Amino acid sequence: MNAERMIVRYGEHDIDVRLTRRHRKTLEIAVEPDASVSVAAPMDAPIAAIESKVRRRAAWIRRQQRYFMQFLPRTPERQFVAGETFRYLGRHYRLKVVPHVQTSVKMRGGHLVVQSHHPDNTDMTKTLVERWYRQHAALKFAERLAVNLERFPQPEAFRPSGLIIRQLDQRWGSMSKASRLLLNARLIEAPVDAIDYVITHELCHIAEPHHGPKFFALLDQILPDWRRRKHKLEQSMS
């Protein structure tokens, strides 16, 4: 049986579900060891009924995911020392810290070069690098928002009332009821294709707040290759 992908909103979280339809009478929900969620549903089960069941079990699903995630490989915490790898727009750069009378952060070749008064002070290096990321995220996200709005037949109808960039633990983005677009600051590490997927996905929520058939029909229309882009995001940021 071919599997379908669906996303169920639960509070501030999105639950990504792999749905398989089978010749069975009941619906079964499982959380796999990699923290993914799979649902086996009867052939004729309506999408709305499946979403409702997943939402009712959402608290249990989240508990199971947290349990399994503690065993998954984790990216080591940054030490902000020379030689560490940093990502920007899908590419990897080696950190290089050099003494200089002026502080700055620049990309040079395959390096993220930090000029610092105190090159051995990792706290200062961290401050400089994080400030550089915030500044570039604000510029790049605003640029990509303008580009992705043009995908829509009526761009102004999908223009968010504001753009907020923040460190998030579980999500890449969200759209508030007031149409404010929130993006995860870490998204600046992802390829542009993946950034465009997240922005376009969230813009579609202005017209379709829930992840129902109408939402995915709109996303398919505006960004036909969104599944490829989503996969690229997951692969590049894992």
pLDDT band for position 34 (cuts 50, 70, 90): confident
Q: Give residue 53's identity as a one-letter amino acid code.
A: K
Q: Tell me: do 230 and 166 sit in the same domain.
A: yes
Q: Looking at residue 75, what is its pLDDT?
A: 58
Q: Tell me: do 128 and 151 sit in the same domain.
A: no
Residue 65 domain-assigned (yes or no):
yes
Residue 77 domain-assigned (yes or no):
no
Q: Tell me: do 12 and 92 sit in the same domain.
A: no
Q: Give Cα 108 to chain centroid, integer Å.
A: 27
8 A C-beta contact, residue 184 and residue 166: yes
Q: What is the pLDDT of residues 61-117, one digit of tens each?
A: 998 888 777 665 555 678 999 899 999 999 999 999 999 999 999 999 899 999 999
Q: Tell me: do 24 and 100 sit in the same domain.
A: no
Distance separating alpha carbons of residues 219 and 237, to the nearest angstrom: 22
Q: Looking at residue 76, what is its pLDDT?
A: 63
Q: Tell me: do 152 and 204 sit in the same domain.
A: yes
Q: Of the candidates 132, 153, 168, which is a domain's last residue?
A: 132
Q: Looking at residue 232, what is its pLDDT?
A: 87
Q: Tell me: do 121 and 148 sit in the same domain.
A: no
| Number of neighbouring beta carbons within 10 Å of residue 66 | 11
pLDDT band for position 1 (cuts 50, 70, 90): low
Q: Tell me: do 157 and 106 sit in the same domain.
A: no
- Choose the weakest-confidence range: 1-5, 26-30, 92-96, 189-193: 1-5
Which pair of tokens denotes residue 210?
């829930």
Distance separating alpha carbons of residues 33 and 56, to the nearest angstrom: 21
- pTM to 2 decimal places: 0.71
Residue 171: CATH number of its domain: 3.30.2010.10
- Name the nearest CA neighbour of 181 among 200, 195, 160, 201: 160
- Total domains, the chain: 3
Q: Give Cα 100 to chain centroid, integer Å.
A: 36
- Name the nearest CA neighbour of 54 among 41, 67, 70: 41
Residue 75 domain-assigned (yes or no):
no
Which domain does 7 fall in, by range?
3-69
Q: Looking at residue 70, what is its pLDDT?
A: 67
Distance separating alpha carbons of residues 218 and 60, to the nearest angstrom: 31
pLDDT band for position 36 (cuts 50, 70, 90): confident
